[in-house]
Amino acid sequence: MFQRTKSFLEQNERKLSLFAFVFGFILDSFTLTRVDRLLDNLILVAYLAVAFASIILINAHGPGRRLQGALSRRGAHLARLLLPFAFGGLFSGFVIFYSRSGEVFSSAPFLLLLLTLFLGNELFRRHYERFIFQMSVFFVTLFSYTVLVVPILLGKMGSLVFILSGLVSLVLFSLALRAITFVAKDEAEKSKHSLWAIVMIIVVTFNVLYFNNMIPPIPLSLKEIGIYHGISRTRAGEYQLTFENPPWYAFGKRTSAVFHAEGGEPAYAFSSVFAPARLDTTVVHRWSYFEEKGKQWVSVSVVGFPISGGRNEGYRGYSVKESIFAGKWRVDVETLRGQIIGRFNFTVEESITAPLLKTETR
């Protein structure tokens, strides 16, 4: 029975791997819901642990290594299947979390990097035999996770927290490398200099992307944004919002992308930003219009307000632009560093008649 099972797995390895790949991503999309949820972090830590254990088993077996015999050979064979599975699960989780945090186009280089590593996981399978490749990919996953979890643990965001996240990942990687040296000293010593050079390149790349605002502002994420004709606060603490309904085909939009301004009335931007529990920070609304002559966006107003984490629907806040004029506009929700959490593009059209408005309380 063992031989039949082994034969079936070997003959259908590609199909089973592709099925697990697609099924795992779909499952992660529904399972991974909040970056500060214990279960979500346990899943990611479990993937990291499986990846690290697999690297140890692969490199501990062989001539002159710590592990010998048929049992360790089977363990190494299983580890070769588990390693791409664990890396696929990690990059799947990172794509899900990082894509929810931040505006897609501004974070495109980093998201494309994660997506390439995720989709290329199957193509890289044959490279997982190489120790340097194994550990380089492991460090990328380690860095990506510490960038995600350290702000949650500290309840703070910013440049210093990002740098600290990088230092934590380097310390953990150094400890992991020492553990592997214990079971495969010759391989670790032979690859040490090349591996640390690659790790430093990865660190520099992450920092260049971060300080150019190309890494999403994890763990913040935009839950809602829209443009309104009026906003008031009720005694119960809810917001009463007056707006133009979006057309039926504007999926995911709560307000119309066309704002009909009557007699120089103001426009209100309302947003809801999710932050993990215990994390307090400040976000800003940046109002910009598109200058047709210069073909560029011009910032005209920046309004900041503090937010507190923990609310599933996000922390709500709004800003107002007086005497808004006709043309193309956008409101960016940003961190104090300028990382874009979300964006709403809309067009202002002057109207001599009152537009059809709807009122909701949220």
The tens digit of pLDDT for each residue in 73-104 reads 666 677 777 887 788 888 888 888 888 887 76
User: In the prediction, which pLDDT does 253 show?
Assistant: 86
Q: What is the mean pLDDT of the chain?
A: 84
Does residue 298 or residue 73 have the better pLDDT? 298
Co-location of 17 and 137 in the same domain? yes
Co-location of 231 and 194 in the same domain? no
Co-location of 78 and 17 in the same domain? yes
Q: How many domains does the chain have?
A: 2
Co-location of 276 and 138 in the same domain? no
Measured CA angle at 122 (ends 22, 20), to 5 deg: 30
- Is the pLDDT at 125 greater than 90? The verdict is no
User: In the prediction, which pLDDT does 87 show?
Assistant: 84
- Three-state DSSP class for residue 285: strand
Helices (H) and strands (E) in the chain, counts: 8, 11
Does residue 254 or residue 106 have the better pLDDT? 254
Does residue 70 or residue 49 have the better pLDDT? 49
Q: What share of the chain is helix, strand, coil (3-state, %, to 5)?
A: 50, 25, 25
What residue has token string 């140890």?
A: 56
Do the Cβ atoms of 219 and 101 come closer than 8 Å?
Answer: yes
Co-location of 49 and 170 in the same domain? yes
Closest CA to 346 of 257, 268, 266: 257
Report the distance separating Cα 358 and Cα 133, nearest Å.
57
User: In the prediction, which pLDDT does 127 show?
Assistant: 56
Co-location of 79 and 200 in the same domain? yes
User: In the prediction, which pLDDT does 8 show?
Assistant: 55
Q: Which two tokens stand for residue 131?
A: 């120790």
Q: Where are the alpha helices (DSSP H) in the chain?
A: 2-11, 13-31, 38-60, 70-100, 108-119, 131-154, 159-183, 185-211
The range of the structural domain enclosing residue 80 comes to 2-211
User: In the prediction, which pLDDT does 88 show?
Assistant: 81
Q: Which two tokens stand for residue 218?
A: 């994890």
Co-location of 197 and 235 in the same domain? no
User: In the prediction, which pLDDT does 206 show?
Assistant: 92
Establish if 268 belongs to a structural domain: yes
Measured CA angle at 103 (ends 98, 108), to 5 deg: 70
DSSP state of 294: T
| Mean pLDDT calculated for residue range 315-337 | 93
pLDDT-wise least confident of 7-21, 46-60, 117-131, 156-170:
7-21
User: Hey, what amino acid is at 305?
Assistant: F
Co-location of 234 and 278 in the same domain? yes
Establish if 216 belongs to a structural domain: no
Measured CA angle at 360 (ends 356, 361), to 5 deg: 155
